[in-house]
Structure formats: structure tokens, C-alpha cells
Chain A
Amino acid sequence: MTDRVGASGDRVGSVGGLPPRRLVDDFVPPLILEGEHSLCPGCGEPVAMRSLVETVDELGLTDRTIAVFGIGCYTAFSGNLDLEALQALHGRAPSLATGVKRTRPDTMVVTVQGDGDMVNEGLAEVLHAAARAEAITCVLLNNGVFGETGGHMTATTVLGQRTKNTLDGRDAARHGYPILIADLIASLEGAAFVARGAVSSAGEVARSRRMLRRALEVQAAGTGFTFVEILTMCPTGWFVEAAEAPAYLQGRLAEVHRLGVLKDGASGADGAPVAARDGAR
């Protein structure tokens, strides 16, 4: 990692509309390309994506990793990541990842999808990839809304959550119940590691990073399918202030989509889901 202080080493003042002061410990995280991005203030997705690429970097997997992206807000951010990338259609990333891994078994293959992409459009793809025990890591950025379209209900939207097409909140009688996808995947024999983290606090980010690390280690060992769901903030799609979004995540989403390691087959699971919810704390 490289420190990036102002070019001449001096501090830049932040008064009078000047650029904000740069701190001496400012740095560009590894594998993040500087440049524009189009994500909203308070969005949790870049935090999760940074956690992922930093984990790849820490494990020394940079020059053998291929990332497969779905379609969502995070898609454009894939261009800011210095990892080889394959862009999939909405819902289909696990299928493409299967083709990549089967023809390049020496690579590490990671998919990044949102909840609309994975749990709505592509539920079959991720479940079949897990059942086939594909040696890939699927990462779900779950914020409970279609963020890119402006905040519409997905299959993971929690009951009571207001979206643009559930204006009075998601109602079980009218809109059905949310799918707890990590729990569903943990029940499949082909899944070797399943965990659900969040990026709502520094502590949760650190825990999510440990989950990602474990998932990649299990992928490298080739013992099965690995899955990390990360709850991310979407203040724009939740219609809350950016500063309120972490509390909204903890109080609403994480109450339904419970955080923790659901399955770690490589450490002696008997196939039963929810082995140790707090194992990665």
C-alpha cells in the first residue's frame, strides 16, 4: 500500500471551497483505481467491494483472480477495481463463473451480485452453483432494494420496509415474505462455507473481511461452494439520511437477515445449517 500525501507533501486547506484537507494517512487501497465513480454518499457497496479486493490482495491472489459482476449499482464500480473482470447479465453471474472456473481451475473466481440480481432474477443460478459444489465464491451485496432503479422491492426486502412499490411497507399478505438466501444455501450439501456479514460499522466490516478471507481459503482448498452475503447500506433506496443508514441496517435488515457464520463445512460441519452463527466474531 502506498501513502498518497499531496504531491509536494503539503496539506491543502479546506476553507473557502478549496478541496478538503488530505490527511497524512490518506492512501489509495490496493487494487482500487482512482477515478470517478457513480455511487451515492453513504452507499455500503464500495466498502464491501474494497473489503473483497483487500482480502484478495492480503491472500496474495491478485494475479490469479477473476471477478464476475452482475448488474446493479456496483457494476460501474467494477471499472475502478484492478482485478480481471467478466461482466455478466442480471442474474447469471454464477453460470459464467462456472464456465470460467471449469476452464481455468487454477484461478480464484469470485462473483459480485446484488439482491435483485441474485435472489430475484438469478435464484436458480446461485442455488444450482451451490448444489454443484462449484469451487467459486459468490458474494451477495444485500441492501433489500433495487438501488439502481431508485428503491424498489426485491425478494430480500424485509416486512414493513418502505420501497417505491411498497409505499406502506412490505406487507406479507400482499407481497409475500423475504427470502433468507444464505440460510437457503447453507442447507445445500455442496455449500462448504456460508456467512452473512455487514458493513454498518467498523467492527462489522472487520468481521465481513474475516468471512471473505475464510471463503477464499475454502475456495483455494477446493472443498465446495462458498458464499458470503454482506448487508450494505442504501440510504437513497431506503429514503433515510446517509448517517442514519447503518442504524437502519442493524435495526431492520440485520434483525431478519441474521449476521454470522451459518456453515463452515471445512471445520467439521455435518451438513446441518446454522452451525455457529457467531463463529466469525
Chain B
Amino acid sequence: MSRRLVEGAEAIAGAMVAAGCRFFAGYPMTPFTEVLEHMARLLPPVGGTCMNAESELEAVGMAWGAAATGTRAATGSVGQGLSLMQESLSEICHARLPLVVLNMARGQGDYHQATRGGGHGDYRHIVLAPADVPEAVELVQRAFWLADVWRNPVLVVGDYYLAHVQEAVDETPIDLPPPPAKPWALDGSTGGSGAAKIVSPLGTAKRGDPSFVEYGQHLEGIGERLAVMEAGVEPLVETIGIDDADLVVVAYGTPGRYLRYVVDELRREGLGVGLVRPVTLWPFPTGVVAAAAERARAVAVYELNTGQMLDDVRLAVLGRRPVRFIGGLSFDSSGFGIAPDLDAERLADRVRRALDETVRTGVPA
């Protein structure tokens, strides 16, 4: 095991290449830019291609084409660029193609975009949200594997902090089962066989092929597959002290990392607080949140937005406990999603106040 002090953006790029990613396309926008820079440096020496796409629309289209040949491919941007890509991401889901997409977001305003999607029709991405660089390195590798297994895009959500913090990282590739074969991948060789392959969001076989189904049936099949995927992907989650907490705090990503520290400190002071940090945002760890809420008197949600994951927490708790929102928007003047509120003392105050209110007004323990 070798550990190296490395900046998040470089570590993420390295993990993608280690996972076998050989095609990357991107359009510069901070803090995604830094990942693009590293991919442009790392891919050519291993025979891969990094495209400086002329727009986010082109970036996702190029990655789509590369994925269709069975190549492990990735693209990404920040939330704004991801907005432009939504139409394609929806279609890529319907075409059943694996793809890894990074959202090196500015703040946490893209939770709904990530977990609901801004595209058309019924589709979902598997969404992973690392809180630190070592976790990002592991999840990026896992993302390529999940994308291949489920033939579906996997979104990895980071932010400015994750891109720029330097941490000691073990860059040894993690052990994952071998990915499934890709008999659907295009290489041109089936042309003229009477059964040339097609990769299409409109259906997975040509008319006349025994597996051909009409478009409506294809969409219904995609819907059924979503349920199988939701049930089949085990959501990753970190918990602290949820067996004896009066108040369970739910937070993800970089704020989740801050809350991990704050909750530990407050527990040392003897306060009855716990933490649930969803690592997988879709499928959401509904069962863990529900079980933690059952044992507590109230739940508090911290996120750097006006309350988006709040919806999923409420859907997990189903009204059995009060759910308080203790997060909110917080930006400095840079526009990169640096949040003055991400300060251990400020966050500890919010958690303390929520705990006081819970003890005063919440349901009995």
C-alpha cells in the first residue's frame, strides 16, 4: 500500500484512468476544469483520448459515442454544464449505455438535478457523493463498475473543496468483480450479417430481430428495469451514534464531512446527537434514515441549498418524527461554491439549537 499526498482533482482523474477509463470529454468550468486538465495529461500515455469539447452538449455526445463502442468513458462539468447535458443523459439511460459523469458542483444546489434529473421521460442515475478524497478515489472506480453492471450512467458528485483539498491517498486500485461482457458494443463487424447491431434510445433491436419490441414496450421495459436497479443497488451510508441519539443529523458530501467532525465533538461533550451521511444519493438510503429516525426524537437536515435532500429524508421518515431543516445557501464572492457557513463552530451552533428545540418540543424519547 502506497499513500501519496495528492489534490482531489488529480486523484479523481487518476482513479478514472486506473478504473480503465480511456475516453474523456469536457468543457472547462471551475472546479471541473482541474479534472479535465489532469485527464488531458493522463490519458494519451495509456492510449486513451481526452477531447476538448466545444460545448457541454458536444462533450456528452462524444462520451455517448465512445460508450457505444464499449469503451469506459466519462464526461462531466459543474451543475450549469450538467443542465445542458440533461437531454443527452436521459437518452443515454434509454439507450442503456454505461457512462460516468462528474458534477464538480458549486455548492449543493444540484441535488434535485442529480437525483431526479432535469431531462425528459422516466430515467435515473446512480448517484455517489464522496465526502473526501480517499472516498472519491474509491467511488470513482466503483462508478465505472456500477455503470457497466447496470448499463446506466453513474453520477459522481463533488465540489470545489473536493477538487482542491490535498489528502493522503492510497492509489492502489480497489478490488471489484470483473465487469460483464459487452456484446452490445459497436465495432462495425456485424454489418451485412442480416442482424447488424443497433444502439438506440428508441429500442435495442431492429425490426425483424427476434428481440425487437415497439417503442412503447421499450419504454415500459426501461421503467421495469429502473425498479430492479433501485432494488439491486445497495446504497452506501456512514452513520455515527444513531443508536442513542435524540437528534439525528443528515448531511452528504463536503458538509457531511464537517458534520461528521461536529457530531463527534458534540458527542464528546455528552450531547445526544448522531449522523447519517448518505454516500449513495440514488438509490437513497431510505431504510437507514428511517431506522435512525425511529430511534431518535427528531431529524435535522443540513445541506448547502434551500432544502433538496430534505425531500428524500421526509419521504424516508414519513411523518413519524419532526424533520427540521438547519441548512441553507451560503456563498462567498468567488462564485465557486465556497461556503462561509462551513465552519465547525457555526455548524455546532445550528445542531445545538436543533437539539434544544427537539428536547423542548419533540416527541418523548
A and B form one complex: yes
The docked-state distance in angstroms from the alpha carbon of A64 to that of B186 is 10
State whether B188 touches A66 (Cβ < 8 A): yes
Q: Chain A contact residues (Cβ within 8 angstroms of B): what range? A: 35 or more
State whether A82 touches B194 (Cβ < 8 A): yes
* Interface 9-mer from A83-91, A157-165, A170-178: A83-91
- 1/0 per residue, CB under 8 A from A, across B180-204: the answer is 0000001111111111111111100
* Interface 9-mer from B61-69, B313-321, B328-336: B61-69
State whether B49 touches A81 (Cβ < 8 A): no
State whether B58 touches A95 (Cβ < 8 A): yes
State whether A100 touches B194 (Cβ < 8 A): no
Among A31, A85, A108, A124, the residue within 8 A (CB) of B198 is A85
Residues of B within 8 A of A102 (CB): 23, 49, 51, 62, 66
Beyond A64-B188, A64-B191, A82-B196, whether A35 also contacts B65 by CB under 8 A is no
Q: A31 to nearest B CB, angstroms?
A: 6
Residues of B within 8 A of A101 (CB): 65
Residues of A within 8 A of B188 (CB): 63-66, 84, 104, 107-108
Residues of B within 8 A of A87 (CB): 95, 198-202
Which has the most chain B C-beta neighbours within 10 Å: A63, A68, A96?
A96
In the complex, B116 has a CB within 8 A of chain A: no
In the complex, A277 has a CB within 8 A of chain B: no
State whether A84 touches B57 (Cβ < 8 A): no
Q: Which residue of A lies closest to B59 (CB)?
A: A95
In the complex, A236 has a CB within 8 A of chain B: no
8 Å CB interface, B60-113 against A: 60-69, 71, 73, 87-88, 91, 95
Which has the most chain B C-beta neighbours within 10 Å: A83, A92, A108, A125?
A92
Residues of B within 8 A of A35 (CB): 207-208
Q: Which residue of B lies closest to A69 (CB)?
A: B200
In the complex, B286 has a CB within 8 A of chain A: no
In the complex, B55 has a CB within 8 A of chain A: yes
Q: B273 to nearest A CB, angstroms?
A: 48
Beyond A36-B207, A103-B23, whether A83 also contacts B191 by CB under 8 A is yes
The docked-state distance in angstroms from the alpha carbon of A36 to that of B207 is 9
Which has the most chain A C-beta neighbours within 10 Å: B62, B64, B66, B67?
B62
Q: Which residue of B lies closest to A97 (CB)?
A: B65
State whether B25 touches A103 (Cβ < 8 A): no
Residues of B within 8 A of A78 (CB): 198
State whether A64 touches B189 (Cβ < 8 A): yes
In the complex, A98 has a CB within 8 A of chain B: yes
State whether B61 touches A82 (Cβ < 8 A): no
State whether B57 touches A99 (Cβ < 8 A): no
Residues of A within 8 A of B200 (CB): 85-87
A/B pair count, beta carbons within 8 Å: 153
In the complex, B142 has a CB within 8 A of chain A: no
State whether B191 touches A31 (Cβ < 8 A): yes
Among B54, B61, B91, B189, the residue within 8 A (CB) of A99 is B61
Which has the most chain A C-beta neighbours within 10 Å: B87, B91, B186?
B186
State whether A89 touches B91 (Cβ < 8 A): yes
Residues of A within 8 A of B53 (CB): 95
Among A36, A79, A89, A108, the residue within 8 A (CB) of B61 is A89
In the complex, A223 has a CB within 8 A of chain B: no
Q: Which residue of A lies closest to B202 (CB)?
A: A87
The docked-state distance in angstroms from the alpha carbon of A68 to that of B198 is 10
In the complex, B257 has a CB within 8 A of chain A: no
In the complex, B22 has a CB within 8 A of chain A: yes
Q: B21 to nearest A CB, angstroms?
A: 11
Q: Which residue of A lies closest to B92 (CB)?
A: A89
Q: Which residue of A lies closest to B94 (CB)?
A: A87
State whether A92 touches B57 (Cβ < 8 A): yes
The docked-state distance in angstroms from the alpha carbon of A56 to that of B242 is 65
Residues of A within 8 A of B324 (CB): none
- 1/0 per residue, CB under 8 A from B, across A46-87: the answer is 000000000011000011111010000001001111111111
Residues of B within 8 A of A104 (CB): 69, 186-188
Q: B242 to nearest A CB, angstroms?
A: 44
State whether B192 touches A57 (Cβ < 8 A): yes
Q: B119 to nearest A CB, angstroms?
A: 11
The docked-state distance in angstroms from the alpha carbon of A187 to that of B207 is 40
Q: B16 to nearest A CB, angstroms?
A: 15
10 A-B pairs with C-beta separation under 8 A? A31-B192, A56-B191, A63-B191, A64-B191, A84-B187, A84-B188, A84-B198, A86-B198, A92-B57, A100-B69
Given contacts A63-B193, A98-B51, 18 further A-B contacts (CB under 8 A): A63-B188, A65-B191, A66-B69, A82-B193, A82-B196, A83-B192, A84-B186, A86-B186, A86-B200, A87-B202, A95-B53, A95-B60, A96-B61, A96-B62, A96-B68, A99-B69, A103-B22, A124-B54
